[in-house]
């Protein structure tokens, strides 16, 4: 009597599963490294944007101070002119300096708002709240 049959033994299946597990583990480690790198980059961007916003705020404060000084200088020159001490040339110069200081103030305010926007973008605020900002929801 002779019996015939086939026997299938998965000799390589365990090795294949181990290999798949090693590949998956390596892919997971790679993704975790990418995530850590991304978090580091985001942190650096937020810190840089915060420093830029602080610097722009300080420049804005200086510009406001310059406008106040130019207004005071114009007031002084106006008093001198109305008292007859000076002619119109110093008065015109003071007006010109005030106009330049106000122009610088507007530019500083614009730059400050841009840096605040960059900070909000770096921090993720824009992506999270742009709809409520734009549509009031």
Residue 59 maps to a domain: yes
In this prediction, residue 29 has a pLDDT band, given cuts at 50, 70 and 90, of very high
d(CA 134, CA 28): 38
In the chain, how many domains are there? 1
pLDDT at 124: 81
Query: Which pair of tokens denotes residue 53?
Result: 């916003």
Range of the domain at 72: 39-123
Residue 78 maps to a domain: yes
30-68 pLDDT per residue, tens: 999 999 999 999 999 999 999 999 999 999 999 999 999
Alpha-carbon torsion, ordered 24, 30, 36, 38, to 10 deg: -120
d(CA 61, CA 99): 17
Decide: pTM greater than 0.75.
no
Q: Angle CA(103)–CA(56)–CA(53) in degrees, nearest 5?
A: 145
């Amino acid at each position: 009597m002779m019996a015939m049959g086939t026997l299938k033994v998965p000799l390589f299946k365990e090795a294949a599963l181990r290999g798949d597990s090693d590949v998956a583990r390596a892919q997971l480690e790679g993704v975790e490294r990418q995530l850590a790198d991304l978090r580091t980059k985001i942190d650096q961007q937020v810190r840089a944007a915060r420093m830029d916003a602080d610097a722009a705020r300080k420049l804005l404060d200086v510009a406001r101070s310059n406008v106040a000084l130019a207004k005071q200088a114009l007031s002084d020159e106006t008093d001198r002119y109305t008292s007859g001490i000076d002619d119109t040339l110093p008065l015109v110069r003071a007006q010109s300096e005030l106009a330049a200081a106000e122009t610088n103030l507007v530019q500083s305010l614009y730059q400050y708002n841009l840096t605040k926007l960059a900070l909000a973008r770096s921090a993720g605020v824009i992506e999270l709240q742009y709809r409520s900002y734009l549509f009031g929801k």
